[in-house]
Structures are given as C-alpha cells and as structure tokens.
Amino acid sequence: MIQIKESAPKGLAITMFLIVLALLLGACSDNKQIKSKGSAGTEKPKAPNTEKSNEQVLPISIPDGEFYKSIGWLADQEIVYITNVGQSSNVYRYHLLTGKSELIYKSEFPIVTAQISPSKSFILIHSSPSSYEGLVTIIDTKGNEKLKQSFPSYELSFEWNPYDNSKVLVSTFSEDWDFNVFLLDFKSGETKELSLPQPFNKWMGANELAFLNWDQEHPSLFAPLIKKGLNNGMEKTLFPTVLQFSTFKDLLVKIEINDQNQLARYSFLDKDLQEIYSFSNPLLTKYSDWLVPYFDYNEKEKEFITLNAVKDGEADVYTEGFNLVAYDLKKDSSQKILTGLKNAPIMISPSGKTILYGERFEKIIDLNTKKIFDLVKE
C-alpha cells in the first residue's frame, strides 16, 4: 500500500477548492450549434412545456420525510430516490407507471449522495456520521449490504468501474483539500490506497485510469490528459492540452479549445483512440475558467445529449438559456430537442427515451413529446 497524501501549495488553496467544488458538482459538458461531421437535425425545437403529471408519469407521493434527490435509473420505468427523515435518510425505488415506492434501505445518518452502478445491480451510499467522516455503504437493489466502510474525510468523490462493477475509486478530501485515493473492491473486501498525482480519475479500461495532470505550481485552464495502468504503473500522455474529459465504456470524450475561433471542440474516440465523431460549440467564460454545460451519454443508443449555450459570453450575465441537443454517433447527426432550459444535471434512461433533469433530478423530460414533468407530487 502506497501513501499518496498530497498537499496543495498554500497559494493555490483557493484554486484547488474551486476545482474540487466544480468537479464534485458533477460531470458536465458543452454548448451551441454543431460544427460536426454530422448534419444538423431538421425537427423544429419546442420551448419547455412543464406539466405536473400525465397518464404515463405518476409523480412521487413521499411516504415518509422530505424529498432530497433522485439518484438515477434502475430501469426504463424505475428510479431510485432519497428522503430525509430528521437526522436519518431513506432510500426508495420507484416505478413511474404504477406510482409505487418501495423502501429498500434506511440510513441512521444523513445521506450526502448515492450512485447506481453502471450495471444497475448495486447502489453506493455516502452518508455522514460527522463533518469529518464519510461512511460508504454498498447495497444491492433489494437493500442487502455488500460493504460498509468509514473514511476520515471532509468530502468524498466516487468513480464506478464500468468494466468491473465490484470496483470503485474513492477519493477522500480533508478540509484543506489534501487528498487520498483508494481502490475499493467489495467483491474481495479489499481496500487499496493508490499512488496518483490527481484526485479525479476516470476508468479507461478494466485496469487503466485517465486524469488531467494539473500543474499546481503553474495554474492553467488546460492540462495534459494522462493514461495510467494500475497493474504496471506506466503513464502515457494522450493529449497535451485538454479542458475537460469524460469516459464511458469504450468511449472517450475530450473537450479542447480551438485557438483560432475560441470554440470548444468535442471529440469522441473509440477504445483505440480513433476519432469517430466531433462537433464544436461556443462556451461561456467564468472568472477563472470555462463553463462546460451538463451532458450524458447513452451507451445502448450511442447518443450524446448535452445542454448548449445559444452564444458565447460571460456566464454571470448570460440570460439566453440553454438548448438541449442530442448527437447521434451512429447516424452522424444532431437534433435540437428543447430550448430555454437552465444548465442543470441530466441523466438519460437506459432506453434513451427519457431524461432525469434538475439539480436534484426532480423533473423528467420525455424526449418524444418534448415535455417536462414534475417528479414529486406537491
């Protein structure tokens, strides 16, 4: 076991805090109209039409406590959500068509967040017994505990291995944003500390990670994208100047800035790092970096859905709203779905027909009818 405690220089504490905070809020992605290999879709977009419910989507009637957040999809018509009951929390699975909530887990401590595994077979729950302790509990979808482990921490982040769902990367942060990275294997019951220079890592293979290697001594908007093997420890620079990236099973999405036109270029690469699709959009600027809007990818349909800004500008004063756009990597095309939305997290259902939307995933977007429904009954 190798200790990896890394201390950021004092002068960079604020910078590190902003990076950590931004990344912890979730994966995001980009904006505007495509400059793609594909052609733009011709369907006329519709403005958001928010409805409370319809015959297909039954809003949740909270059984106990207060709605906290939804955490994702178990199946096309089934999600998982959390309620807070005093200083404890409950986890429910919910069927959208029947309106039935099933309690699957009770936590004696408040739940901070939870994540469903890529296989939809397990749920990782992060609860907080105290301000400086994070409790990680992994359950199956019936609520049976598979692992429970405490980490001294001020904050935690997680990354499921999509190639082996029994493995999860856990990054722990102190109040000063020092970090440690662990590989949690709940099948073997082993927790191994890893030697990694960065806290935010993503899986590129069953035993390979990728990360942006930020230089803490010389802060920059871009960093080299590095691949590292867990078995041999070998590192390789894949791309020299990347703004942001994300990985899905057998797919790498990297975002770079074109110096000539200042557009963000989204590139999609297969497992052999061959580009299979790309498009370009303008980005909004923030005080010290760029705003990459939220996105998600549907592996089954090979569809990338993102929120795009209508034009470039400063994020603090931008008021034009965001377009919801779907890019079909198979058909080499795009389609504008909705306009005038807020930049908020999205999560695509397994079939790709529906999206959870909102800071707490409290809304559902039907991609066929282009309507937005409230998930929780008032």
Q: Which residues contact 203 (CB under 8 A, 6 or more apart)?
A: 159, 160, 161, 162, 163, 169, 209, 210, 247
What does the pLDDT average to over 52-75? Answer: 87
Residue 138 or 16, more confident = 138
Using the predicted structure, report yes or no on whether residue 71 has a pLDDT greater than 80.
Answer: yes
- Radius of gyration (C-alpha) of the chain in whole angstroms: 20
Q: How far apart are CA 171 and CA 218, in angstroms?
A: 23
Q: How far apart are CA 268 and CA 261, in angstroms?
A: 20
Are 334 and 328 contacting, i.e. CB atoms less than 8 angstroms apart?
yes
pLDDT in tens, 195-227: 999 999 999 999 999 999 999 888 899 999 999
Q: How far apart are CA 119 and CA 272, in angstroms?
A: 23
- When pLDDT is cut at 50, 70 and 90, the band that residue 53 belongs to is very low
Most confident of the following: 53-67, 93-107, 283-297: 93-107
What does the pLDDT average to over 68-89? Answer: 97
Using the predicted structure, report yes or no on whether residue 148 has a pLDDT greater than 50.
Answer: yes
In this prediction, residue 17 carries a pLDDT of: 43
Residue 165 or 40, more confident = 165
Using the predicted structure, report yes or no on whether residue 24 has a pLDDT greater than 90.
Answer: no
**In the chain, % of residues over pLDDT 70:** 85
Using the predicted structure, report yes or no on whether residue 61 has a pLDDT greater than 50.
Answer: yes
Residue 258 or 345, more confident = 345
Q: How far apart are CA 271 and CA 205, in angstroms?
A: 9
Using the predicted structure, report yes or no on whether residue 47 has a pLDDT greater than 60.
Answer: no
In this prediction, residue 114 carries a pLDDT of: 98
- When pLDDT is cut at 50, 70 and 90, the band that residue 283 belongs to is very high
Q: Domain-by-domain residue ranges, the chain?
A: 26-60+252-378, 206-248
> Considering only CA atoms, which of 187, 183, 161, 162 is closest in space to residue 171?
183
Q: For residue 290, which phi and psi values (nearest 5 degrees)?
A: -110, 150
Residue 160 or 32, more confident = 160
In this prediction, residue 287 carries a pLDDT of: 83
In this prediction, residue 49 carries a pLDDT of: 52
Mean pLDDT computed over every residue of the chain: 88
pLDDT in tens, 252-276: 999 999 877 779 999 999 999 999 9
Using the predicted structure, report yes or no on whether residue 32 has a pLDDT greater than 60.
Answer: no
What does the pLDDT average to over 109-130? Answer: 97
